[in-house]
Amino acid sequence: MLHGFVAVSRDAHSPFAQRLYDIIIVCGRLRQARRDESLQDREEQVLRTKVAIIGAGPAGLLLGQLLHQYGIDNIILERQSPDYVLGRIRAGLLEEGTVTLLDQVGAGARAHAEGLLHEGIELAFAGRRHRIDMKSATGKTVMIYGQTEVTLDLMNARKAAGLTTVYEASDVQPHDFDGSHPRVTYGKDGVTHTLDCDFIAGCDGFHGVSRASVPASALQEFERVYPFGWLGILSETPPVSHELIYSNHARGFALCTMRSMKRSRHYVQCSLDDHVDQWPDDRFWDELKSRLDQEAADSLITGPSIEKSIAPLRSFVAEPMRFGKMFLCGDAAHIVPPTGAKGLNLAASDAHYLSSALREFYDEKSNAGIDAYSARALARVWKAVRFSWWMTSMLHKFPDNGSIGARIQLAELDYVTQSQAAMTSLAENYVGLPF
């Protein structure tokens, strides 16, 4: 049972209780495989779709729904089970543009009902908190709504539309994406399948097969690995504040956020050599309190953790994001430290750019959109990389910066919280640049 989430179970009420049968296109006609059709019969069929999507995380699922809205057939291949995908605990701060896309594909109702709208954030340093009023500066808000919930909503929308996702697909491999016969091979139930397609969308994350299939000579990678990680816990406790608190402290960074008004998510900067076993709950709560201002520390309600993990921080970009007839989307192409809350939102903007480009290709018989996809997506990606790096640099304790680095951070924070221009710049980037 996933506490607080709609769980994927094996009972009749589960959205995945009934088997999802392969949708097969034979000679351009869409049909559903018969329930009594043997695996051998299926293997002999010609499987074809317009867009083969590798990965059923938020990027792949949102792309699939957008393409469906545009009348573009697509099939998603995912190597993990639905339960595993929903078990990934990730951050959940949505820009207005991301929420608009969820609404567009019919997957936004629960976010509006259960999500928390935030109009600002608080920066804490030198024992005090300073509020950044994002709505006043930009007219925009952000929504607190877990990535697990976004994934579930997109899964259910896809199932309701009768679209195919092949879960637990083994040995997924894209082929000939730089040639005339793009296709993806995969294994399912002991049978090897070939999925012919016009295009391949690699939405399978940082460690996925899509980017790994690109020749090294065709790819340029940019990476910065930060010398610390985030230790995070999830607890059934009310948030310490109604808005997020980002704290710069001599002992290291801390973040107080939430999933709901009854469930909190807290982080402290930690060493990359640390292990969760070294951090019993009492030690974590004591350390968090030591890094907060006195009012927040006194207001903090502690409780048993229901999830605890350490995540490394890195900035990573792969260029370009198109290789012939294969496109990278989301974490397959870029990673940002979570300080700026940009990862999920960049995946959403990639899905928007790519779906629009493919709609233009099919509806208007134009290559202009797909030719421009990489440059358009990367322009927004690099701005998010810059902002996430800046937030991380301003708020964390760096081992080699020394006392002068700490004083420069405090000067930067003082400037940001006193200058309307600086607050507006932070707010514009935090709520999300337009796409």
Which whole-number Å values give the CA distances from 284 to 103, 290, 308, 399, in the listed order? 38, 10, 10, 21
159 and 270 in a single domain? The answer is no
Residue 269 CA to residue 253 CA, distance in Å, equals 5
The label of the residue with tokens 């504040």 reads 241
Return the active site residues: 118, 246, 338, 342, 430
Domain that holds residue 416: 109-146+226-313+394-431
38 and 68 in a single domain? The answer is yes
End-to-end CA distance of the chain: 37
Residue 218 CA to residue 220 CA, distance in Å, equals 7
398 and 260 in a single domain? The answer is yes
Q: Half-sphere exposure of residue 397, counting CA atoms within 13 Å on the CB side?
A: 18
pLDDT band at residue 88 under the 50/70/90 scheme? confident
Q: Are 352 and 369 in contact (CB under 8 A)?
A: no
pLDDT one-digit tens code per residue, 219-277: 999 999 999 999 999 999 999 999 999 999 999 999 999 999 999 999 999 999 999 99
How distant is the alpha carbon of residue 150 from its chain centre? Answer: 10
207 and 250 in a single domain? The answer is no
Report the percentage of the chain scoring pLDDT > 90: 87
Domain membership of residue 97 (yes or no) is no
Neighbours of 71 (CB within 10 A): 10
- CATH of residue 413's domain is 3.30.9.10
DSSP 224-251: EEEEEEEEEEEESS--SSSS-EEE--TT
For 239, the token pair is 């948030």
303 and 156 in a single domain? The answer is no
Q: Give the total number of structural domains in the chain.
A: 2
54 and 169 in a single domain? The answer is yes
235 and 381 in a single domain? The answer is no
Query: Average of pLDDT values for 419-432?
Result: 98
Residue 46: its pLDDT value, please? 56
180 and 278 in a single domain? The answer is no
Given a cut of 90, is residue 28 above it in pLDDT?
Answer: no
Given a cut of 70, is residue 29 above it in pLDDT?
Answer: no
Least confident of 17-21, 45-49, 246-250: 17-21
257 and 231 in a single domain? The answer is yes
294 and 369 in a single domain? The answer is no
Domain membership of residue 190 (yes or no) is yes
Instruction: Give Rg (Cα) of the chain.
Output: 23
